[in-house]
Amino acid sequence: MQGSFHGRTLATLSATGNRKVQAGFEPLVKGFVRAPYNDMDALRAIAANDPNVIAVLVEPVQGEGGINIPDTGYLRAMRELCDQNDWLLMLDEIQTGMCRSGKWFAFQHENIQPDVMTLAKALGNGVPIGACLARGKAAEVLQPGTHGSTFGGNPLACSAAQAVAQTLEDGKLDARAAALGSTMLNAFLDRLAGVDGVVNIRGLGLLLAIELDRPCGELVAQALQQGLLINVTAERVIRLLPPLIISDEQADQIVGQVSSLVRDFLKVAA
């Protein structure tokens, strides 16, 4: 998809819909067709015109692209289109998965199932591990021994992932992310909606974004000076992915600090 980010290994970089991050890594892997995000008509047009397509790779919410949350029904419609065309639906849940969106996996918001799903990031909570899950006919493509990597499936990383999954389950952190995310989103809306320069405030679980009308990368250093780690992506989008285990007080503190930073920044930059 345009605006997507799938990683920095060669094939995923080639699939990524952002020329800037691809620059300098050519030759890229050929064969990817790109569609605008959140646009089912564009996908249907590809289905009608390109018999070579075999799969759709998509983030349920675009993370690096700026926390772009598609319309309700997008993934469901995509599931249907994939079934009609015998395409695989491959979801990149590296940023959205493991409870961050308020459900274990973001596709659960739409009650569908992908054929393939990638996980990483929160899977190991700092211990490096990534996983590619497949079901049905997609699971038959790779057999044990077909493919591998030196550290693939190593017991240390796998037990870290198992401990993470157990912790998420024991702490019901999917529900916690949903509740805290909606509290934080509402608090940001209270403090920042309608402020000149704030274009949009959105979120799904603990994937939160405040979009400004101007580049705001310098906010990262300003926040860091206050001991707060934030991120700016797509130049104008403050992206907040707070830990799922923060307390209500810490969440309040983040909302307060970020809201003040944004207000001050917009005043100075006005």
Q: Which two tokens stand for residue 112?
A: 């569908």
Q: How far is the CB of 9 from ligand PLP (least distance, A)?
A: 5
Q: Which lies closer to ligand PLP via its Cβ, residue 171 or residue 243?
A: 243
Write down the catalytic residue from 103, 121, 174, 188: 121
265 is known as an active-site residue: no
Task: Report the interface residues with ligand PLP, using CB under 6 A.
Answer: 5-9, 12, 59, 63-64, 92, 94-95
Question: What is the DSSP annotation of 178-235?
Answer: HHHHHHHHHHHHHHHTT-TTEEEEEEETTEEEEEESS--TTHHHHHHHTT---EEETT
Q: How far is the CB of 64 from ligand PLP (least distance, A)?
A: 5
Q: How far is the CB of 94 from ligand PLP (least distance, A)?
A: 4
172 is known as an active-site residue: no
Q: How far is the CB of 256 from ligand PLP (least distance, A)?
A: 27
Q: What share of the chain is helix, strand, coil (3-state, %, to 5)?
A: 40, 15, 45
Quick count: other Cβ atoms within 10 Å of Cβ 209?
A: 26
Write down the catalytic residue from 5, 107, 188, 265: 5
Q: Which lies closer to ligand PLP via its Cβ, residue 75 or residue 261?
A: 75
Q: Which lies closer to ligand PLP via its Cβ, residue 102 or residue 192?
A: 102
Q: Rounded distance, CA 71 to CA 73, Å?
A: 6
DSSP structural state of residue 135: -
Q: Which lies closer to ligand PLP via its Cβ, residue 64 or residue 115?
A: 64
92 is known as an active-site residue: yes
Amino acid identity for residue 185 in this structure: L
Q: Rounded distance, CA 64 to CA 139, Å?
A: 28
Closest residue to ligand PLP, based on beta-carbon distance: 7
Q: How far is the CB of 121 from ligand PLP (least distance, A)?
A: 7
- The answer to whether the beta carbons of residues 62 and 5 sit under 8 Å apart is yes
Q: Which lies closer to ligand PLP via its Cβ, residue 95 or residue 259?
A: 95
DSSP structural state of residue 103: S
What positions carry a catalytic annotation?
A: 5, 92, 121
